[in-house]
Structure 1
């Protein structure tokens, strides 16, 4: 059974392991040195400590999402919910863990009254692009090798 809960600063070392394993084969979109990953994870916690969630299966941490409820989107001109990271260990993929993490992030944004979720994904990370499309995200624009995707959050249940 998958359990998703708020991560703490004590989880950072394990989250770094998940990040490095999860980005194997996609290094062009990620940090590849542990020190850089640790600095990045610390930045994510400083951005929004309440928005980092970790997924566990039988007590083992297998994935995490960094949901930033304080992000000012220059393209939207307002504060939106930004998903900076969503990583699941390769051997735990296709088991609904990414979906649970994404749902937790979107729920967090809705609780904060944010109208939109935004994320950037590498243009050749087809698995992730398809995953986000399946969960209602739409491609908005591109910058170099990044694709920006968004999903409306307001009035989702009433339409």
Structure 2
């Protein structure tokens, strides 16, 4: 049992923090394997190097008093009244795993964030599909330190874009319009019509306001159009019309990283209820996938709710594979 005394303190020394971080993270799958559309060792280190010492960033450590050795760490970003904890943290040395160190780091971070005016703290658990045990220690830690699970669990799916995609024409008369002839306001309306026009759909997608509330949908679509999330040329945004009425829509952007293969991210993707099971959605998605491939993307990724079996099977029929499960937690201060 770990009995040494330690203090919880802030750290702004990149070398010291990164050395401790590497030691504590080295056994995690994403540290060793660098999977597509998941956490990445070099990307995380680059983010720490960029963030440490900056406003809106907070890094704390558990430091052993006798030796000054760092035995645990935790980082967070904050903006206004909200904060996000860093991925796979708090982390500790293996010799102190399961002790009070991790809880003291969480509680120490909560106190500091509250002093800075933060009122809501969020954290995302993301792990290989079907392997919740890989994050069981974090799940237990957060649920015993005042966090609660919010929203519905999600999944990420990934497709390798290794060959030309030739979309199969739907068996309806249609017209496809691309981004240059679609306003963000129109796209937001199509999103709401596809995700929130029936009680069944609302039950499936709430409380995700980006697809069930017009203002939330408009905010997300506008961020995609502006390129806030990555390159998003107009050919990545498409809407299909049948007899002049909107039937389906697809958006996408490119997740750029110096450390991972270029990946196109689909979203939002939706088909209005009366036009489902006619091949329209797949046709439109495959058009966008081919546009992503021509752009230079090696992979495409899509996300949906873990309980949305219809959407998961839709993507799997196009060759996507389930890659990650996601859970969101939140604590009010």
Give the TM-score normalised by the residue count of structure 2. 0.40
Higher RCO structure (Cα 8 Å, ≥6 apart): 2
Unaligned runs of 5+ in 1: 146-159
Partner in structure 1 of residue 192 of structure 2: 20
Partner of 2:262: 79
Three-state SS of the structure 2 residue aligned to 1:136 is: coil
Partner residue in 1 for 2:32: none
Please state which structure has a larger fraction of its residues in strand.
1
Unaligned residue ranges in structure 2 (runs of 5+): 1-172, 197-201, 329-333
Alignment partners' CA distance in 2, 1:142 and 1:73: 21
C-alpha RMSD over aligned residues: 2.1
TM-score (structure 1 length as normaliser) = 0.79
Superposed counterparts of 1:1-159, under 5 Å: 1-8=173-180, 10-24=182-196, 25=202, 26-31=205-210, 32-47=212-227, 48-50=232-234, 51-68=236-253, 70-72=254-256, 77-144=260-327
Q: Give the conservation status (yes or no) of the 8 Å contact 1:121–1:128.
A: yes
CA shift, 1:9, in A, is: 6.5
Q: Secondary structure at the match of 1:94?
A: coil
Q: Secondary structure at the match of 1:28?
A: coil
- Paired residues in the alignment total 143
Change in Cα spacing, 1:127 to 1:143, as seen in structure 2 (3 Å) is same
Q: Which has the larger radius of gyration?
A: 2
In 1, the alpha carbon distance for the partners of 2:308 and 2:209 equals 11
Match of 2:262, SS state, is strand
* CA distance in 2 between partners of 1:123 and 1:73 (Å): 26
Cα deviation 1:54-80 (Å, max 9, x = unaligned): 111122222110121x21369x82321
